[in-house]
Amino acid sequence: MPTTTDDVVHHFAAAAAGVHLDDVPPPARDAAKKSVLDTLGVMLAASGTEPAVRSAVDLVVESGGNPEASVVAFGHRTSAVAAAFANGALAHSLDFDDQTPWGQHASSTVVPAAFAVAERRGGVSGADLVAAVAAGQDLFARLRCTVGWRKDWNLSTVLGVYAGTVAAGRVLGLSAASMADALGIASQQSSGVMEVVCGTGGDLRGMYAGFSARGAVTAALMAQKGTTAVGTLMEGEYGVFATYFGGRYDRAAMLEDLGVDFRGAGTLYKRWPAVGTAHSHVHATIEAMREGGLGVDDVAQIRVFVGDYHALMCEPLDTRRAPSTLVDAKFSLPWLVAVAAVHGDIGLQHLTGGALRDPAVLAAAQKVVPVPDAAADWHLELPPGRVELVGHDGRRHTRTGTGVPGNTDAPLSWADLGEKFAGCARVAATPPGALAVDRVVDMVRHLEEVSDVAAVVRALG
């Protein structure tokens, strides 16, 4: 077992290598299974509704490779590394994947990486997959909350590759020493800056999880083959914490109850296919319209109160009011609020190329005015968004976005996620039949009883 003087990488490696299903408390076990279902569903939806992701899928198909693992929704089999890349790109491209209560996305890396190596290995039980996913989610959550993030690095990829690596390594049955090596190897693929997330134009924001999933599988497989790494990865003078976070991290909090308290239990599942940091403003808009009995034509101005991170979703304002790509639309707060005001919801049908030209939404977006509010700045937990509707008659209707569907105070149930999965499946590039959908939902809900998790992917066609 690691000592108190060992780099935290050894503590993380030992915990992940030794985890079994019985070690995972029921809430974290349930979250891991929900994340498997949710992530697979989002992959299906992305295959049929996000054109940008096709470049990643096409590249994988063109490159061939040993038929070890499946590219979800496309009926193609390729190497585990390539499948993780394509499936990771699919998993985040709609921004419909799950997130931690503090933002950022673990499962769009963890689940594709774990399934890719599980198919390659064969005969991996559902119990082992659940333990692996729970270990990955736990590591991600622990790092997310205990490092000094300056909103410069994209934590979803910088940290996600480590979460995906421990999940893949656990599926492969790596020893603690090899798991530590795998994490060291993963450091060579820990990257991604926030400009990719916050800037306009381009497709990378939608598919960045493909790179961390591919990196995770590569690292785990190289460690399995004997590649070694330094033993001071995280806390060394030039290690991860010094390089990415200026040496600001809380070691005690990071390791507290490691192996006992699995923090993926707090994972949140999205009701709307858009960046999670917009959901509170979206919910506030829907509720304010409903409570005021308003139609969009009754509203002269929609004032959205924004902190530092919300403001990024509003700049440049003209572009955010009329995004030109689906990738940008999902990160454009004025446009998303306009969709909510016009339709009272945001569904996959509202995120199509044609929907970007919806005259009612574009007109409503011109009414959206960001109002700076330092009280909404993002530190650890993002404060809820606040919206004020100003009517043509001068009346004002104000609502704060609490009780957001999918958040901690209004979590999605298994039934909700089953409906979401079915809706995602219907718009897949090759939609699975209703019986297959029901079968997958049932298998994942009882994943501990599945003898070979490859059956879950095979059921999707």
pLDDT of residue 219: 98
Q: Are residues 264 and 283 in the same domain?
A: no
Contacts of 1 (CB under 8 A, 6+ apart): 14
Same domain, 119 and 255: yes
Q: Is residue 155 part of a domain?
A: yes
pLDDT of 352 reads: 86
Look-up of token digits 């409903």:
290
List of long-range contacts for 441-445, beta carbons under 8 Å, 24+ apart:
441/37, 443/126, 444/33, 444/36, 444/37, 444/40, 445/33, 445/37, 445/414
* Domain shared by 395 and 428, yes or no: no
76 and 212 assigned to the same domain: yes
Structural domain count, the chain: 2
What is the predicted pLDDT for the residue at 445?
98
Do 58 and 159 belong together in one domain? yes
Residue 359 included in any domain: yes
Would residue 366 count as lying in a domain? Answer: yes
Cα end-to-end distance, the chain, whole Å: 43
Instruction: Kindly tell me if the per-residue pLDDT of 272 is higher than 90.
Output: yes
Q: What are phi and psi of 303, to 5 degrees?
A: -95, 120
What pLDDT, on the 0 to 100 scale, is given for residue 71? 97
Residues 175 and 221 in one domain: yes
pLDDT computed for residue 379 by the predictor: 85
Residue 75 shares a structural domain with residue 136: yes
Local confidence band at 202 (pLDDT 50, 70, 90 cut-offs): confident
Whether 185 and 218 share a structural domain: yes
CATH (domain of 12): 1.10.4100.10
Strand pairing of 396-400 and 386-391?
antiparallel
Mean pLDDT taken over the chain: 96
Given 367, 400, 433, which residue is the final one in a domain?
400
pLDDT of residue 382: 82
**Domain interval for residue 368:** 276-400
Nearest Cα to Cα of residue 461 among 214, 434, 127: 434
Q: What pLDDT, in 10s, does the model give residues 109-128?
A: 999 999 999 999 999 999 99
| CATH number (domain holding residue 281) | 3.30.1330.120
101-105 mean pLDDT: 93
> By mean pLDDT, which of 197-201, 206-210, 237-241 is the weakest?
197-201
CA-to-CA distance for 275 and 355, rounded, in angstroms? 17
Q: What is residue 378's predicted lDDT score, i.e. its pLDDT?
A: 87
Same domain, 389 and 333: yes
How confident is the model over 275-282, as a mean pLDDT?
96
374 with 425, same domain: the answer is no
Instruction: Find the range with the poorest average confidence among 101-110, 188-197, 225-234, 372-381.
Output: 372-381
Do the domain assignments include residue 96? yes
Q: What is the mean pLDDT of residues 4-22?
A: 97
pLDDT band at 98; cut points 50, 70, 90: very high
Q: Looking at the predicted structure, is the pLDDT value of residue 454 above 90?
A: yes
Tens digits of residue pLDDT in 126-180? 999 999 999 999 999 999 999 999 989 999 999 999 999 999 999 999 999 999 9
Looking at residue 151, its pLDDT comes to 87
What pLDDT score was predicted for residue 51? 92
Is 3 part of a structural domain of the chain?
no
Q: Are residues 193 and 298 in the same domain?
A: no
pLDDT at 435 over 90: yes
Residue 161, in any domain of the structure? yes
Q: Are residues 350 and 448 in the same domain?
A: no
- 217 lies in some domain: yes
What's the confidence (pLDDT) of residue 380? 82
How far CA 97 is from CA of 68, 168, 317, 395, in Å, comes to: 25, 19, 26, 37
- Reduced to 3 states, what is the DSSP secondary structure of residue 304? strand
In a domain, 195, yes or no: yes
Model confidence pLDDT, tens digit, residues 35-92: 999 999 999 999 999 999 999 999 999 999 999 999 999 999 999 999 999 999 999 9
Average pLDDT over residues 358-380: 95
